[in-house]
Protein backbone atom coordinates (compact mmCIF):
# COMPACT_ATOMS: atom_id res chain seq x y z
CA UNK A 1 0.00 0.00 0.00
CA UNK A 2 1.33 3.45 -0.89
CA UNK A 3 2.53 5.70 1.94
CA UNK A 4 2.74 9.05 0.16
CA UNK A 5 0.69 11.62 2.04
CA UNK A 6 0.21 13.97 -0.93
CA UNK A 7 -1.43 11.59 -3.39
CA UNK A 8 -4.75 9.76 -3.32
CA UNK A 9 -5.52 6.62 -5.30
CA UNK A 10 -9.07 6.69 -6.66
CA UNK A 11 -11.13 3.95 -8.29
CA UNK A 12 -13.07 6.03 -10.83
CA UNK A 13 -16.54 4.73 -11.69
CA UNK A 14 -17.91 4.58 -15.21
CA UNK A 15 -20.06 7.43 -16.46
CA UNK A 16 -18.12 10.44 -15.18
CA UNK A 17 -15.14 12.34 -16.54
CA UNK A 18 -11.73 12.48 -14.90
CA UNK A 19 -12.32 16.14 -14.07
CA UNK A 20 -15.60 15.19 -12.37
CA UNK A 21 -13.43 13.19 -9.95
CA UNK A 22 -11.30 16.27 -9.23
CA UNK A 23 -14.40 18.44 -8.82
CA UNK A 24 -15.95 16.07 -6.29
CA UNK A 25 -12.73 15.67 -4.31
CA UNK A 26 -12.20 19.43 -4.13
CA UNK A 27 -15.66 19.80 -2.66
CA UNK A 28 -15.21 16.95 -0.18
CA UNK A 29 -11.73 17.90 1.02
CA UNK A 30 -12.04 21.67 0.58
CA UNK A 31 -8.69 21.67 -1.17
CA UNK A 32 -8.27 23.60 -4.40
CA UNK A 33 -4.78 22.58 -5.46
CA UNK A 34 -5.34 19.17 -7.01
CA UNK A 35 -4.73 17.34 -10.30
CA UNK A 36 -4.56 13.87 -11.83
CA UNK A 37 -1.93 11.80 -13.61
CA UNK A 38 -3.74 10.55 -16.68
CA UNK A 39 -7.25 10.86 -18.07
CA UNK A 40 -9.81 8.07 -18.12
CA UNK A 41 -12.72 8.47 -20.54
CA UNK A 42 -16.27 8.38 -19.13
CA UNK A 43 -16.63 4.85 -20.54
CA UNK A 44 -13.65 3.66 -18.49
CA UNK A 45 -13.30 2.88 -14.80
CA UNK A 46 -10.33 2.21 -12.59
CA UNK A 47 -7.19 3.64 -11.11
CA UNK A 48 -6.45 7.36 -11.04
CA UNK A 49 -3.55 8.99 -9.19
CA UNK A 50 -4.68 12.28 -7.66
CA UNK A 51 -2.01 14.76 -6.58
CA UNK A 52 -2.98 16.98 -3.62
CA UNK A 53 -1.11 20.18 -2.68
CA UNK A 54 2.59 19.31 -3.05
CA UNK A 55 1.63 16.10 -4.83
CA UNK A 56 0.68 18.08 -7.94
CA UNK A 57 4.39 18.70 -8.54
CA UNK A 58 4.92 14.95 -9.06
CA UNK A 59 2.12 14.37 -11.56
CA UNK A 60 4.38 14.53 -14.61
CA UNK A 61 6.50 11.74 -13.12
CA UNK A 62 3.40 9.57 -12.68
CA UNK A 63 2.35 10.33 -16.26
CA UNK A 64 5.48 8.58 -17.53
CA UNK A 65 4.65 5.29 -15.78
CA UNK A 66 3.44 2.19 -17.67
CA UNK A 67 -0.16 1.10 -17.23
CA UNK A 68 -2.23 -2.08 -17.13
CA UNK A 69 -5.74 -2.26 -18.59
CA UNK A 70 -8.46 -4.89 -18.85
CA UNK A 71 -10.35 -4.29 -22.09
CA UNK A 72 -13.50 -5.66 -23.65
CA UNK A 73 -13.43 -5.44 -27.45
CA UNK A 74 -16.57 -5.74 -29.56
CA UNK A 75 -15.94 -7.20 -33.01
CA UNK A 76 -18.37 -6.36 -35.82
CA UNK A 77 -19.05 -2.69 -35.03
CA UNK A 78 -17.10 0.52 -35.60
CA UNK A 79 -17.85 3.95 -34.13
CA UNK A 80 -16.58 7.44 -34.89
CA UNK A 81 -14.95 7.63 -31.43
CA UNK A 82 -13.55 4.10 -31.31
CA UNK A 83 -15.75 3.13 -28.35
CA UNK A 84 -19.39 2.60 -27.40
CA UNK A 85 -19.86 6.27 -26.54
CA UNK A 86 -19.61 7.21 -30.22
CA UNK A 87 -21.96 6.90 -33.17
CA UNK A 88 -21.90 3.50 -34.88
CA UNK A 89 -20.72 4.01 -38.47
CA UNK A 90 -20.20 0.40 -39.57
CA UNK A 91 -21.70 -3.00 -38.80
CA UNK A 92 -20.44 -6.37 -40.00
CA UNK A 93 -21.96 -9.39 -38.22
CA UNK A 94 -19.52 -12.10 -37.21
CA UNK A 95 -21.13 -15.13 -38.85
CA UNK A 96 -18.39 -17.69 -38.24
CA UNK A 97 -17.09 -18.65 -34.78
CA UNK A 98 -13.67 -17.19 -33.95
CA UNK A 99 -11.00 -19.53 -32.60
CA UNK A 100 -8.80 -18.47 -29.70
CA UNK A 101 -5.63 -19.31 -31.62
CA UNK A 102 -6.60 -16.81 -34.36
CA UNK A 103 -7.38 -14.14 -31.78
CA UNK A 104 -4.08 -14.76 -29.98
CA UNK A 105 -2.19 -14.42 -33.27
CA UNK A 106 -3.89 -11.08 -33.86
CA UNK A 107 -3.00 -9.95 -30.33
CA UNK A 108 0.62 -11.04 -30.79
CA UNK A 109 0.92 -8.59 -33.69
CA UNK A 110 0.40 -5.75 -31.21
CA UNK A 111 3.44 -6.58 -29.10
CA UNK A 112 6.30 -4.12 -29.24
CA UNK A 113 6.33 -0.53 -30.44
CA UNK A 114 4.17 0.51 -33.38
CA UNK A 115 3.08 3.80 -34.91
CA UNK A 116 -0.66 4.48 -34.98
CA UNK A 117 -2.88 7.43 -35.80
CA UNK A 118 -4.39 8.93 -32.65
CA UNK A 119 -8.20 8.86 -32.25
CA UNK A 120 -10.13 11.79 -33.67
CA UNK A 121 -11.83 12.07 -30.28
CA UNK A 122 -8.71 12.84 -28.27
CA UNK A 123 -7.05 15.79 -26.57
CA UNK A 124 -4.07 15.84 -28.97
CA UNK A 125 -3.87 19.36 -30.38
CA UNK A 126 -3.68 20.28 -34.05
CA UNK A 127 -3.16 23.95 -34.88
CA UNK A 128 -3.89 24.89 -31.30
CA UNK A 129 -7.17 22.99 -30.98
CA UNK A 130 -7.77 19.49 -29.54
CA UNK A 131 -8.88 16.93 -32.08
CA UNK A 132 -12.18 16.42 -30.28
CA UNK A 133 -13.00 20.09 -31.03
CA UNK A 134 -12.91 19.34 -34.75
CA UNK A 135 -14.83 16.08 -34.31
CA UNK A 136 -17.65 17.64 -32.29
CA UNK A 137 -18.12 20.37 -34.89
CA UNK A 138 -18.00 17.93 -37.79
CA UNK A 139 -14.87 19.58 -39.18
CA UNK A 140 -12.11 17.55 -40.78
CA UNK A 141 -8.88 18.42 -38.95
CA UNK A 142 -5.90 19.66 -41.00
CA UNK A 143 -4.10 16.42 -40.14
CA UNK A 144 -4.30 13.41 -37.83
CA UNK A 145 -1.10 13.06 -35.80
CA UNK A 146 0.59 9.69 -35.39
CA UNK A 147 2.50 8.49 -32.35
CA UNK A 148 4.40 5.49 -31.12
CA UNK A 149 2.58 3.17 -28.76
CA UNK A 150 4.19 0.25 -26.96
CA UNK A 151 2.50 -2.95 -25.83
CA UNK A 152 4.77 -4.84 -23.44
CA UNK A 153 2.29 -7.59 -22.52
CA UNK A 154 -0.97 -8.78 -24.02
CA UNK A 155 -3.04 -11.82 -23.08
CA UNK A 156 -6.40 -13.20 -24.12
CA UNK A 157 -8.72 -13.70 -21.16
CA UNK A 158 -11.94 -14.77 -22.85
CA UNK A 159 -13.88 -14.66 -26.14
CA UNK A 160 -17.47 -15.50 -26.99
CA UNK A 161 -20.34 -14.72 -29.34
CA UNK A 162 -22.72 -11.89 -28.41
CA UNK A 163 -25.80 -11.81 -30.63
CA UNK A 164 -24.44 -11.32 -34.16
CA UNK A 165 -21.09 -10.03 -32.89
CA UNK A 166 -18.09 -11.23 -30.87
CA UNK A 167 -16.63 -10.16 -27.54
CA UNK A 168 -12.90 -10.42 -26.79
CA UNK A 169 -11.56 -9.76 -23.27
CA UNK A 170 -7.89 -8.79 -23.12
CA UNK A 171 -5.29 -7.69 -20.60
CA UNK A 172 -2.88 -5.03 -21.90
CA UNK A 173 0.32 -3.71 -20.31
CA UNK A 174 1.31 -0.59 -22.22
CA UNK A 175 3.49 2.49 -22.28
CA UNK A 176 2.39 6.04 -21.59
CA UNK A 177 0.21 7.56 -24.29
CA UNK A 178 -1.15 4.28 -25.65
CA UNK A 179 -4.79 4.48 -26.71
CA UNK A 180 -6.60 1.21 -26.00
CA UNK A 181 -9.32 2.28 -28.45
CA UNK A 182 -6.68 2.22 -31.18
CA UNK A 183 -5.50 -1.25 -30.13
CA UNK A 184 -9.09 -2.50 -30.18
CA UNK A 185 -9.50 -1.35 -33.77
CA UNK A 186 -6.14 -2.90 -34.68
CA UNK A 187 -7.25 -6.27 -33.28
CA UNK A 188 -10.39 -6.09 -35.37
CA UNK A 189 -8.45 -5.20 -38.52
CA UNK A 190 -6.14 -8.19 -38.00
CA UNK A 191 -9.20 -10.45 -37.77
CA UNK A 192 -10.97 -8.84 -40.71
CA UNK A 193 -13.74 -7.07 -38.80
CA UNK A 194 -14.55 -3.57 -37.62
CA UNK A 195 -14.11 -3.25 -33.87
CA UNK A 196 -14.59 -0.86 -30.99
CA UNK A 197 -13.78 -0.67 -27.30
CA UNK A 198 -16.84 -1.78 -25.31
CA UNK A 199 -15.43 -1.58 -21.79
CA UNK A 200 -12.16 -0.58 -20.13
CA UNK A 201 -10.73 -0.76 -16.63
CA UNK A 202 -7.29 0.50 -15.56
CA UNK A 203 -5.85 -1.56 -12.74
CA UNK A 204 -2.24 -0.42 -12.42
CA UNK A 205 -0.03 2.62 -12.97
CA UNK A 206 3.62 1.76 -12.38
CA UNK A 207 3.78 0.33 -8.83
CA UNK A 208 0.34 1.69 -7.87
CA UNK A 209 -2.46 -0.90 -7.89
CA UNK A 210 -6.24 -0.64 -7.94
CA UNK A 211 -6.35 -2.82 -4.81
CA UNK A 212 -5.18 0.19 -2.80
CA UNK A 213 -7.59 2.69 -4.36
CA UNK A 214 -10.66 4.18 -2.71
CA UNK A 215 -14.07 5.05 -4.08
CA UNK A 216 -14.92 8.75 -4.20
CA UNK A 217 -17.67 8.44 -1.60
CA UNK A 218 -15.15 7.03 0.90
CA UNK A 219 -12.53 9.67 0.39
CA UNK A 220 -13.16 12.04 3.24
CA UNK A 221 -11.76 9.28 5.38
CA UNK A 222 -8.38 8.64 3.79
CA UNK A 223 -4.76 7.90 4.59
CA UNK A 224 -3.01 6.88 7.80
CA UNK A 225 -2.69 9.43 10.63
CA UNK A 226 -1.35 12.15 8.40
CA UNK A 227 -2.14 15.58 7.03
CA UNK A 228 -3.36 15.95 3.48
CA UNK A 229 -3.27 19.72 3.90
CA UNK A 230 -2.76 22.22 6.68
CA UNK A 231 -6.32 21.73 7.91
CA UNK A 232 -7.12 18.04 7.40
CA UNK A 233 -6.03 15.36 9.84
CA UNK A 234 -6.77 11.70 9.15
CA UNK A 235 -6.89 8.71 11.49
CA UNK A 236 -7.31 5.24 10.03
CA UNK A 237 -7.62 2.06 12.06
CA UNK A 238 -8.37 -1.41 10.75
CA UNK A 239 -8.96 -4.81 12.27
CA UNK A 240 -10.01 -8.04 10.58
CA UNK A 241 -13.58 -6.97 9.80
CA UNK A 242 -13.71 -3.47 11.27
CA UNK A 243 -12.52 -0.27 9.59
CA UNK A 244 -12.62 3.07 11.38
CA UNK A 245 -11.85 6.33 9.62
CA UNK A 246 -11.84 9.68 11.39
CA UNK A 247 -11.33 13.10 9.84
CA UNK A 248 -10.74 16.33 11.76
CA UNK A 249 -10.93 19.61 9.85
CA UNK A 250 -9.63 22.93 11.19
CA UNK A 251 -9.06 21.35 14.59
CA UNK A 252 -5.55 21.04 15.93
CA UNK A 253 -5.35 17.38 16.85
CA UNK A 254 -3.34 17.52 20.03
CA UNK A 255 -2.75 14.11 21.57
CA UNK A 256 -5.51 14.48 24.24
CA UNK A 257 -8.12 15.56 21.66
CA UNK A 258 -7.13 12.90 19.18
CA UNK A 259 -7.11 10.18 21.82
CA UNK A 260 -10.49 11.35 23.12
CA UNK A 261 -12.21 11.21 19.72
CA UNK A 262 -10.47 8.03 18.62
CA UNK A 263 -11.35 6.29 21.88
CA UNK A 264 -15.07 7.07 21.61
CA UNK A 265 -15.38 6.09 17.97
CA UNK A 266 -13.25 2.97 18.37
CA UNK A 267 -15.33 1.73 21.29
CA UNK A 268 -18.44 2.07 19.14
CA UNK A 269 -16.80 0.12 16.34
CA UNK A 270 -15.52 -2.58 18.65
CA UNK A 271 -18.99 -3.15 20.04
CA UNK A 272 -20.57 -3.38 16.58
CA UNK A 273 -17.79 -5.77 15.57
CA UNK A 274 -19.36 -8.36 17.86
CA UNK A 275 -22.53 -8.26 15.75
CA UNK A 276 -20.73 -9.95 12.84
CA UNK A 277 -20.11 -8.96 9.24
CA UNK A 278 -17.90 -6.19 7.88
CA UNK A 279 -18.29 -2.91 9.77
CA UNK A 280 -17.24 0.57 8.64
CA UNK A 281 -17.40 3.58 10.96
CA UNK A 282 -16.84 6.93 9.26
CA UNK A 283 -16.57 9.94 11.55
CA UNK A 284 -15.84 13.60 10.81
CA UNK A 285 -15.48 16.54 13.20
CA UNK A 286 -14.91 20.08 11.92
CA UNK A 287 -14.66 23.60 13.28
CA UNK A 288 -16.86 25.97 11.29
CA UNK A 289 -17.49 29.71 11.29
CA UNK A 290 -20.64 30.76 13.15
CA UNK A 291 -22.68 33.61 11.70
CA UNK A 292 -21.95 35.66 14.84
CA UNK A 293 -18.23 34.88 14.46
CA UNK A 294 -18.43 32.41 17.33
CA UNK A 295 -16.71 29.07 16.96
CA UNK A 296 -18.96 26.10 16.38
CA UNK A 297 -18.32 22.45 15.57
CA UNK A 298 -19.98 20.01 13.19
CA UNK A 299 -19.90 16.25 13.67
CA UNK A 300 -20.89 13.63 11.09
CA UNK A 301 -21.01 9.91 11.71
CA UNK A 302 -21.92 7.05 9.39
CA UNK A 303 -22.01 3.38 10.37
CA UNK A 304 -22.14 0.72 7.66
CA UNK A 305 -22.92 -2.82 8.73
CA UNK A 306 -23.85 -5.62 6.33
CA UNK A 307 -24.22 -3.06 3.57
CA UNK A 308 -26.75 -0.84 5.36
CA UNK A 309 -25.94 2.80 6.13
CA UNK A 310 -26.86 4.76 9.27
CA UNK A 311 -25.99 8.44 9.19
CA UNK A 312 -26.35 11.49 11.45
CA UNK A 313 -25.04 15.05 11.53
CA UNK A 314 -25.07 17.69 14.27
CA UNK A 315 -23.47 20.94 15.46
CA UNK A 316 -22.46 22.23 18.88
CA UNK A 317 -20.52 25.01 20.62
CA UNK A 318 -17.58 22.64 21.24
CA UNK A 319 -16.46 19.39 19.69
CA UNK A 320 -17.64 17.25 22.63
CA UNK A 321 -21.17 18.65 22.51
CA UNK A 322 -21.25 18.19 18.73
CA UNK A 323 -20.28 14.53 19.15
CA UNK A 324 -22.85 14.15 21.92
CA UNK A 325 -25.58 15.52 19.64
CA UNK A 326 -24.63 13.38 16.65
CA UNK A 327 -24.67 10.37 18.95
CA UNK A 328 -28.28 11.06 19.92
CA UNK A 329 -29.35 11.52 16.30
CA UNK A 330 -27.57 8.36 15.19
CA UNK A 331 -29.23 6.46 18.02
CA UNK A 332 -32.69 7.51 16.84
CA UNK A 333 -31.85 6.77 13.20
CA UNK A 334 -30.82 3.23 14.09
CA UNK A 335 -33.73 2.74 16.48
CA UNK A 336 -36.28 3.77 13.85
CA UNK A 337 -34.80 1.64 11.08
CA UNK A 338 -36.97 -0.96 9.37
CA UNK A 339 -36.33 -4.55 8.42
CA UNK A 340 -34.43 -7.43 9.95
CA UNK A 341 -31.38 -5.24 10.66
CA UNK A 342 -33.34 -3.14 13.17
CA UNK A 343 -33.17 -5.66 16.01
CA UNK A 344 -29.50 -6.32 15.28
CA UNK A 345 -28.67 -2.63 15.57
CA UNK A 346 -30.86 -1.85 18.55
CA UNK A 347 -28.46 -3.29 21.08
CA UNK A 348 -25.59 -1.50 19.36
CA UNK A 349 -27.56 1.75 19.42
CA UNK A 350 -28.11 1.50 23.16
CA UNK A 351 -24.43 0.81 23.65
CA UNK A 352 -23.66 3.79 21.42
CA UNK A 353 -25.59 6.02 23.77
CA UNK A 354 -23.43 4.85 26.66
CA UNK A 355 -20.16 5.00 24.75
CA UNK A 356 -20.55 8.72 24.02
CA UNK A 357 -21.22 9.90 27.55
CA UNK A 358 -19.03 12.88 28.31
CA UNK A 359 -18.22 12.90 31.99
CA UNK A 360 -15.05 12.34 33.93
CA UNK A 361 -15.94 8.75 34.72
CA UNK A 362 -16.24 7.73 31.06
CA UNK A 363 -12.72 7.75 29.65
Active-site positions read 41
User: In this structure, what are the phi and psi dihedrals at residue 304, rounded to the nearest 5 degrees?
Assistant: -120, 120
Structural contact between residues 262 and 246, judged by C-beta atoms closer than 8 angstroms: yes
CB-based burial label for 81 (10 Å; 0-12, 13-18, 19+): buried
> Which CA distances in Å does 318 have to 1, 293, 296, 315?
36, 14, 6, 8
- CA 164 to CA 194: how far, in whole Å? 13
Q: What's the rounded Cα separation, in Å, for the pair 184 and 219?
A: 33
CB 18 within 8 A of CB 35: no
CA-wise closest residue to 35 among 48, 47, 20, 52? 52
Distance in angstroms (rounded) separating the CA atoms of residues 54 and 34: 9
Q: Are strands 44-52 and 195-205 parallel, antiparallel or unpaired?
A: parallel
CA–CA separation, 213 and 312 (whole Å):
26
Bridge pairing between strands 88-91 and 208-209:
unpaired
Q: What is the rounded CA–CA span in Å between residue 125 and residue 20? A: 22
Amino acid sequence: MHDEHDIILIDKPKGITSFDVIRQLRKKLQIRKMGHAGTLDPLASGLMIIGVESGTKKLDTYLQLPKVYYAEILLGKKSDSGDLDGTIIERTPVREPLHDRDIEQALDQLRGTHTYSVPVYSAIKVDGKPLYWYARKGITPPRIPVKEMTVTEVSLLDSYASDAYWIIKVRFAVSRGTYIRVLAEAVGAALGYPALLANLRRTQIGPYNIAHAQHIEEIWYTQDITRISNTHHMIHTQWENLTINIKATDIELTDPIRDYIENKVTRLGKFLQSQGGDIFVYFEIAETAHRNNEETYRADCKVVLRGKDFYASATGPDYMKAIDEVKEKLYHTIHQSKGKEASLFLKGARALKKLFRFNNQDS
